[in-house]
Structures are given as C-alpha cells and as structure tokens.
Amino acid sequence: MSRVLITSAIPYINGIKHLGNLVGSMLPADLYARYRRGRGDEVLFLCATDEHGTPAEIAAQKAGKPVAEYCAEMWQTQKDLSDGFLLSFDKFGRSSSAQNRQLTQHFAAKLYEAGLIEERTETQVYSNADGRFLPDRYIEGTCPNCGYDKARGDQCENCTKQLDPVDLIEPRSAISGSTDLEVRETKHLYLLQSKMRDDLRNWIDTREDWPILTTSIAKKWLDDGDGLQDRGITRDLDWGVPVKKGDAEWPGMEGKVFYVWFDAPIEYIACAKEWTDANGLGDADWQRWWRTEHGADDVRYVQFMGKDNVPFHTLSFPVTIMGANSTGEDWKLVDYIKSFNYLNYDGGQFSTSQGRGVFMDQALSILPADYWRWYLLRNAPENGDSEFTWETFQAASNRDLADVLGNFVSRVTKFCRSKFDETVPEGGTYGPEEEAVIADLTTRVAEYTRLMDAIEIRKAAAELRAIWVVGNEYLQRTAPWSAFKEDPDRAAAIIRLSLNLIRLYGILSQPFIPDAADAMLKAMRTDAAWPNDVEQALAALPAGHAFDVPENLFAKITDDQREDWASRFSGTRT
C-alpha cells in the first residue's frame, strides 16, 4: 500500500467558481484521489478556500457584511457545491483558520532565521477617508499617457501602459472615490526569493517526470527575472494573518498582515491540521503526511492546479519549504505537479468578473454531477486549451453515458429479470466469445490503470469508454435474447458474464462518475475491490447471487434542453 497526499489549488473565496476553475484543479484532483483509494492506497486529499486579501474585503463591502462573516458564508456555499460535485476531500479547510495563522507565523520566523526575510521601508498611498493604505490597483485616476479616466494605479486598461500610482492625474480611492490621499512611509517584509535561485534550479532540473507544461512554466519564471524577484509578503490591511515572528511580536510590524500569496499555500499544510483537529487526532497524525522525519518520507505528494498557479507552486511555495528546512526542519516538498491549460466557453473565455460561462451552482441546477464530471474530464485541457460547447456536451452525455454504459446496464439487468429472475443465472459455460472478452479487457484494464497512474486523464477516459463498448459489442454479437429461444443455458452464460461486467464497470468508473458507479455496485450488491486480475474479477458474482435492477442511470439530453441551456447561459450572469 502506498501513501498519497493530494492537494487541489485552493479556490478564492469571493464568489462561485465556474466549470473552468473546476476542471483546472479540484475535479482532476478528485479523480486521482478516488482512483488511488480504489487501488487501496492510503490517501489524504485536501482543499480549502483562499480567504485573505483585498478582493475578499471589497466583495464583503459590496455585500454589506463584515469580511469574516462574508467569508464564512461563502465557504459554506463553496463547500456545498464541492459536495454537490462529489469532490471527496478529506478536509475542505479555510486559509483564515487558526491553524493556518499559527503555521504562517511559524514559517515567517523560520524564514527570518534562515536570512530569507528582509525589512524594507517604502512609500505607499494612504486614503484618509478609507482609513487605510491602498494597493496600487485600488487607486484610480486619469492616465497620463492616453487620458483614459479610469486608469488603475498599476496599469492603464485602455492603453496598457504600466503605471505607478503617483503617475495618475487626479488620483482617487477605487473603494470610496475619495481624493483625500497622501503618500506615507511604511515598512514591509520581503521574501528574498532570488537567494534561492540555485536551489530551485537544482530541484526543478531533477524533476524529470514532471509534465512539460509544468517544467516549461517553472523554468521560464525562474530565469526571466520577473518570477523570482524578492517579493513583499506583508500588507497594511486588517484582514489577514497578523505579522508575528512565531508566537512573538515583530517590532515595527504591528497592525500589518501577511500578504495573501504567502499564507495561501501554507494552508495546504494547515488544512491537514484542521483535519486532525476536527477528528480528534493528534499532531503526529498530520505530521506523518507533511514532515519527512515524522513519517512522511514514504508519502508521494501530488498537486493539481491551473497553469497560472504554476509559478507560485514551483518557486514561491518551495522557497518557503526549502527555507524552513535550511534551519533544520523537515517539511515535505511536492513530488509531482499536474497542471492544466484553460477551458474556454463557446468561443470565448469563462470569466468570473464578467459572469460568462456556466458556474458550479448553475450546472448542478440542470443536471447531476456525473454528467459534468464525465464531460469535463474526458475533455480536460491537458495538452492545450479545450472548449466547452453545448453540442459536444450533449453528444458526450448521450453517446457515452446513455447509449453505451447506461444502455448496457439496463438491457442486461432487465433481460435477466424477465427471462430468469433477479439472481445471476446458472447454466452454460464460457466459450470463445467470453474468452475473447476476458483477454481484451485484461489488456484494456491494464492500460487504463497505467494511464490513471500517469494522470493522463483524456486518454484514461477514452480507454474507460472503450471498456464500456466491449460489453455492448459482446451483447450485440452474442444476442442473448435470440439465444434464449434455442438454448437458455447459452443465454444464462452470456448474462452471467454481463452482470459481472456491470460490477467491473462500477469499480473502474468510480473515479469519473461516482454516483452512477455506486448505483451499479449497489444494484449488484457487491464490493469494489480493484480488478488486478480481470478474469477473477469477472467471476466475482457467482450463479445464484442476488441483484437489483437499478433505475436508468442516465437520461438523454434533448435538443430542446440543449437549446434552452445554450440561450440561458449565453449572456452574463447577473
């Protein structure tokens, strides 16, 4: 048995995620977690909400709520939706947790001890009306270059010129609109990432099994100067992890918080402690996943994320881990990073800010999770961006799920009930047809297993579909409904193998379509042991074993439904 730690990039708190977000990290991470559990591995699967930072404060203000209350509510919303999509996290935590606060402060102390944190004094714009410092992009004014009157302090959207807040003509707060602004001195902590360049390069260069998408992004950022600059890790805000050096005060940093990008990845670790705390376990129980000298040396740690998150996970977070380890600690570095391109929507991009596309709550309001999971995973944007269209969604659901898998299960179980009864029929023996199916599936299941091990999601989905097709073609060739008239024993043998195929499909399909898979296994009244030996697995249900005829697993999507949904989700969400 192996031990596998799996994390999904943590979604930001300020709103409901769209299907592009879902397939870019959480859903494939769930696929892999379910697969590893199915293989009998010990899995810890973690995700959380990323709750700190100015966007959360602004969203709370818009909603007219205190930011802590807003985050608590949005966490519940996101938790309910992740349950709705059957995401099997062991813990869905919160980066605002007490556990993350304590760990973030701990890592800051260790990085300071390692000589990787420096205090720097700088100037920043302060809004008297808002009573706070303003991040560059929350200062608006007129662009000195093109005259656009809604230019932001970091960049003019109109002419794309990079700006400094002091460049703006008639600057004002984007929060309140106040022009009562002044430039003040303030002190911040900087993480000296550039000091770790060689260590990072040595590490990344030896990750030979990583996907090209991951290493190409990591190396680009490592070398082009922008990625590995020393970066501020503190902010003059109220909402966040207070700046402390471990448990101790940090003189001169009173009233400041850590910048969200510093504390968010530490939540991967804190989430494990949230998990043990919530389950009455001790610190040793999470440390055996995260600390190599505390039991985690045999853990394989796999991260899932969209490509925009790769720089943080290959450079910044590893600086935190390696830096703390340089003081004698033993935190685990990631072993494998699976990254994704983008899913586009009907010829454009999904957009949270513009409300464009299908969002997780909307998706579940029209169809159960399995339909979405199957479509999104079989089209996962692994080797390039992929495209959501309602036509391909309808086609994939109808052809793969309803026509191939659902139809097979329905025909076999209903035929058996009408000609025999609701038990696996006895009589007849397996001949060349059955031997061919067993041989074919032995090869295919081995290939499916290899692809799932390699997290080659699209290819694994195609192989799974091919495995379903084997059953349908077998049924077509052997035609038990005809055989029954001449030779009921022959029909019995065909149906006996077919009922065992339903069990096999239930086990193999579980990572992709867990609800339907569970329904199949429940109907067959059977367990879900992984079929390491296909011939044995296809004899698991002996003659006389009772089963139930399940409800139809999948409904077909009609053209009317497709057109209705396409028009409902064509505009922007209000």
Instruction: Name which of 159 and 281 has its Cβ closer to Zn ion.
Output: 159
Least CB distance from residue 237 to Zn ion, whole Å?
Answer: 28
Q: Minimum CB separation from Zn ion for residue 169, in Å?
A: 11
**Which CB, 147 or 542, lies closer to Zn ion?**
147
Which stretch, 138-146, 288-296, 374-382, 460-468, contacts Zn ion (CB under 5 A)? 138-146
Among residues 63, 73, 84, 148, the one that binds Zn ion under rule CB under 5 A: 148
* Closer residue to Zn ion (CB): 170 or 224: 170
Binding segment toward Zn ion, per CB under 5 A, in 158-166, 231-239, 380-388, 518-526: 158-166
Nearer to Zn ion, 151 or 492 (CB): 151
Q: Tell me the CA distances in angstroms from 433 to 490, 494, 497, one per residue in order.
A: 11, 9, 11
Residue from 156, 380, 405, 416 touching Zn ion (CB under 5 A): that is: 156
**Contact between 145 and Zn ion per CB under 5 A:** yes
Number of residues that bind Zn ion (CB under 5 A): 7
Closest CA to 107 of 245, 312, 267, 296: 245
Q: Between 146 and 284, name the residue whose CB sits nearer to Zn ion.
A: 146
| Cβ-proximal residues to 365 (8 Å cutoff; 6+ apart), any chain | none
Of the ranges 147-155, 192-200, 285-293, 340-348, which one interacts with Zn ion (CB under 5 A)?
Answer: 147-155
By the rule CB under 5 A, 543 interacts with Zn ion: no
CB of 164 to Zn ion, least distance (A): 13
What is the nearest approach in angstroms of Zn ion to the Cβ of residue 204?
37
Least CB distance to Zn ion at residue 168 (A): 10
Coil, helix or strand for 406? helix
Tokens of residue 485, six digits: 């008239």
Min dist. Cβ of residue 508 to Zn ion (A): 56
| Stretch binding Zn ion (CB under 5 A), from 151-159, 404-412, 541-549, 563-571 | 151-159
d(CA 444, CA 452): 12
Residue 28 amino acid letter:
P
Q: Which of 297, 305, 303, 332 is nearest to 3 (CA)?
A: 297
Q: Which of 80, 78, 75 is nearest to 95 (CA)?
A: 75
Q: How far is the CB of 144 from Zn ion (least distance, A)?
A: 8
| Segment contacting Zn ion by CB under 5 A, of 137-145, 274-282, 462-470, 549-557 | 137-145
Residue from 42, 123, 128, 146 that binds Zn ion (CB under 5 A)? Answer: 146
Contact characters 90-129, Zn ion, x per CB under 5 A: ----------------------------------------
Among 143, 360, 412, 437, binds Zn ion (CB under 5 A): 143
Q: How many residues does the chain have?
A: 574
Tokens of 437: 């199916």
Nearest approach in angstroms of CB 208 to Zn ion is: 45
Tell me the window of 116-124, 146-154, 290-298, 461-469 that interacts with Zn ion (CB under 5 A): 146-154
Distance of alpha carbon 60 from its chain centroid, rounded?
Answer: 25
Figure out which of the listed residues 77, 102, 158, 362 binds Zn ion, where binding follows CB under 5 A.
158
Where does this chain touch Zn ion (CB under 5 A) — which range of 148-156, 273-281, 423-431, 441-449? 148-156
Cα gap 165→125, rounded to integer Å? 8
Q: How far is CA 336 from the centre of its chain?
A: 15
Strand bridging mode 42-49 / 3-8: parallel
Nearer of residues 141 and 480 to Zn ion, judged by Cβ: 141
Minimum CB distance to Zn ion, residue 178 (Å): 22
Cβ proximity to Zn ion: between 155 and 362 the closer is: 155
Q: Rule CB under 5 A: choose which of 66, 80, 128, 159 binds Zn ion.
A: 159
| Rounded distance between C-alpha atoms, residue 495 and residue 484, angstroms | 10
Give the CA-trace dihedral at 285, 291, 295, 301, to 10 degrees: 90
Mark the segment that binds Zn ion (CB under 5 A) among 135-143, 259-267, 429-437, 542-550.
135-143
Q: How far is the CB of 150 from Zn ion (least distance, A)?
A: 10
DSSP state of 333: P
Residue 142, strand partner residues = 169
Nearest distance in Å: CB 367, Zn ion: 44
Of 448, 462, 468, 460, give the one whose Cα is nearest residue 405.
468
CB-nearer residue toward Zn ion: 168 or 452: 168
Q: What angle do CA 141, 146, 152 make, to 5 degrees?
A: 30
Question: Cα(513)–Cα(497) distance, rounded to whole angstroms?
Answer: 22
Q: Which is nearer to Zn ion, 149 or 293 (by Cβ)?
A: 149
Which residues are paired to 151 by β-bridges? 141
Cβ(404)–Cβ(469) under 8 Å?
yes
Helix axes 212-223, 197-205, angle to 10 degrees: 160
CA quadruple 460, 463, 467, 469: dihedral positive or negative? Answer: positive
Sign of CA pseudo-dihedral 381, 386, 388, 394: negative
What distances in angstroms separate CA 236 from CA 96, 122, 124, 215, 427, one per listed residue? Answer: 17, 12, 10, 34, 78
Name the minimum Å distance from CB 320 to Zn ion.
37
> CB of residue 172 vs Zn ion: minimum separation in angstroms?
16
Residues that bind Zn ion (CB under 5 A): 143, 145-146, 148, 156, 158-159
